[in-house]
């Protein structure tokens, strides 16, 4: 396995002094090293396409080679700026891509990663992007040098596709770590979800975002013995849960539809707030659980706790905008949320999740059939 600090040093030696991206659990150890060291300037951004654009700006302004990291599911977000901005046949901007390969052939993974896992390398090849494969046995220093030289020579993006289990887990001492200070917030995501479930009349539709939110909601439903066909777990397609819920709300105006979002997910496609707020869908309720981090993939910080989402929601024309950061106001707010919407509610929480969190069923097609049948009935 590769020590992520050695990999960082290899990148620095190859002339990389700027990195940006969206976190991936497969790159967690590398990202912790990146976040903890001052070796390379680092920015966590809204989505993978934005990362390519930010890196392009940096490259043109500095002449240096930037690194963009992402999970392969985010490659879709990055295709437009890769093909029509950075590509060697367009503005020809050299950059290194570091792509976590979820759903790689022969490795166990969740169902939402399998289709993308299969086509990741062919898509990059079709895009005319040269590919290096990095795994625990790679001669990574030589690989990084070669990839960097190729990106410069071609004047375009070159990809390093990373297998799971490549990086060793290196613990970082708290003095080295730039981790966030201990939260003073009292609510947790699980408590918010439990309180939401307590508040339901029973005929609502819930769409929940990628990662721990869907996993916890699934677990809470299971514990309550009330597995619900009216829940849609958006286990992939990060950042799109509010639009899925809005699609349901517009099609079924008689049903109250709740989108349960995370700050990382909401920021990823924040433009959707404008469309949700202006939709006129009185039955649409967008609930943000804001912990200021991408907790599901390792706790990397977002700008969530420094962003006034309620002000954004008001500016986006949500009819009802409410906020809670303690259990009493949460309960009150959930009672009040139900006035004609669109409604936006932000709940600030501290990080924290159960150690052994289950996952929604692998049978995604079956879940979709049950959800559609329930809603259309
Ligand atoms: C397009 C895309 N990029 C990255 C990921 C990896 N990913 C899964 S969950 C997650 C974090 C979600 O953060 P947030 O919405 O704040 O919820 P939290 O995990 O904090 O509960 C990330 C980055 C993904 N699934 N899809």
| Domains in the chain, CATH or no CATH each | 4-162 (3.40.50.970), 189-376 (3.40.50.970)
- Supply the pLDDT for residue 182: 81
> What confidence tens digit (pLDDT) does each residue in 209-257 have?
999 999 999 999 999 987 788 999 999 999 999 999 999 999 999 999 9
- Supply the pLDDT for residue 114: 96
Q: Tokens representing 5?
A: 């600090």
What is the band of 175 on the pLDDT scale with cuts at 50, 70, 90?
A: very low
- Position in ligand 1 atom list of the atom nearest CA 262: 15
* Ligand 1 pocket mutation, candidates 208, 288, 296, criterion most atoms within 8 A of CB: 296
DSSP-derived pairing of the beta strands 130-134 and 205-208: unpaired
Q: Could you give the dihedral angle defined by the CA atoms of residues 8, 13, 19 and 24, in that order, rounded to the nearest 10 degrees? A: -30
Would the CB of 211 count as within 6 Å of ligand 1?
A: yes
Q: What average pLDDT is seen over the chain? A: 95
Sheet holding 284-290, edge to edge: 231-233, 205-208, 257-262, 284-290, 343-348, 320-324
Is residue 73 predicted with pLDDT exceeding 70?
A: yes
- Supply the pLDDT for residue 180: 58
| CA-nearest residue, atom 24 of ligand 1 | 238
> What confidence tens digit (pLDDT) does each residue in 187-217 have?
999 999 999 999 999 899 999 999 999 999 9
Please state, in angstroms and rounded to a whole number, the distance separating the CA atoms of residues 262 and 76: 20
Would the CB of 21 count as within 6 Å of ligand 1?
A: no
Is residue 301 predicted with pLDDT exceeding 90?
A: yes
Would the CB of 299 count as within 6 Å of ligand 1?
A: no
Is residue 174 predicted with pLDDT exceeding 60?
A: no
- Supply the pLDDT for residue 117: 98
- Supply the pLDDT for residue 350: 97
- Supply the pLDDT for residue 172: 59
Taking residues 97-108, what's their average pLDDT?
97
Q: Taking the model in full, what pTM does it have?
A: 0.96
């Amino acid at each position: 396995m590769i020590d992520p600090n050695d990999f960082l040093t290899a990148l620095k030696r190859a002339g990389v002094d700027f990195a940006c991206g969206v976190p991936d659990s497969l790159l967690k150890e590398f990202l912790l090293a990146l976040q903890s060291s001052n070796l390379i300037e680092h920015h966590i951004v809204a989505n993978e396409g934005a990362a390519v654009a930010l890196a392009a700006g940096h490259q043109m302004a500095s002449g240096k080679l930037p690194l963009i990291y992402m999970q392969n599911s985010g490659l879709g977000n990055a295709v437009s700026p890769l093909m029509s901005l950075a590509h060697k046949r367009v503005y020809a901007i050299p950059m290194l891509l570091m792509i976590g390969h979820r759903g790689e052939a022969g490795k166990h993974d969740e169902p939402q990663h399998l289709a993308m896992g299969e086509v990741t390398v062919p898509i990059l090849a079709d895009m005319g992007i040269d590919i290096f494969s990095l795994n625990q046995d790679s001669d990574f220093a030589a690989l990084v040098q070669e990839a960097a030289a190729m990106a410069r020579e071609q004047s375009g993006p070159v990809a390093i596709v990373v297998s799971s289990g490549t990086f060793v887990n290196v613990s970082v001492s708290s003095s080295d770590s730039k981790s966030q200070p201990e939260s003073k917030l009292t609510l947790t995501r699980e408590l918010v979800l439990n309180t939401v479930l307590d508040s339901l009349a029973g005929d609502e539709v819930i769409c929940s975002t990628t990662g721990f939110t869907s996993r916890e909601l699934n677990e809470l439903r299971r514990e309550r013995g009330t597995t619900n066909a009216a829940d849609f777990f958006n286990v992939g397609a990060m950042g799109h849960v509010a639009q899925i819920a809005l699609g349901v709300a517009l099609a079924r105006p008689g049903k109250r539809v709740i989108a349960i979002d995370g700050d990382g997910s909401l920021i990823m496609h924040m433009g959707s707030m404008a469309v949700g707020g202006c939709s006129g869908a009185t039955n649409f309720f967008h609930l943000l659980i804001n912990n200021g981090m991408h907790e599901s993939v390792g706790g990397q910080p977002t700008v969530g706790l420094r962003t006034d989402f309620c002000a954004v929601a008001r500016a986006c024309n949500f009819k009802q905008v409410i906020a809670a950061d303690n259990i009493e106001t949460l309960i009150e707010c959930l009672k009040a949320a139900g006035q004609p919407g669109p409604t936006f509610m932000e709940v600030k929480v501290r990080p924290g999740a159960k150690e052994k969190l289950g996952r929604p069923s692998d049978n995604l097609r079956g879940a979709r059939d049950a959800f559609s049948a329930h809603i259309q009935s």
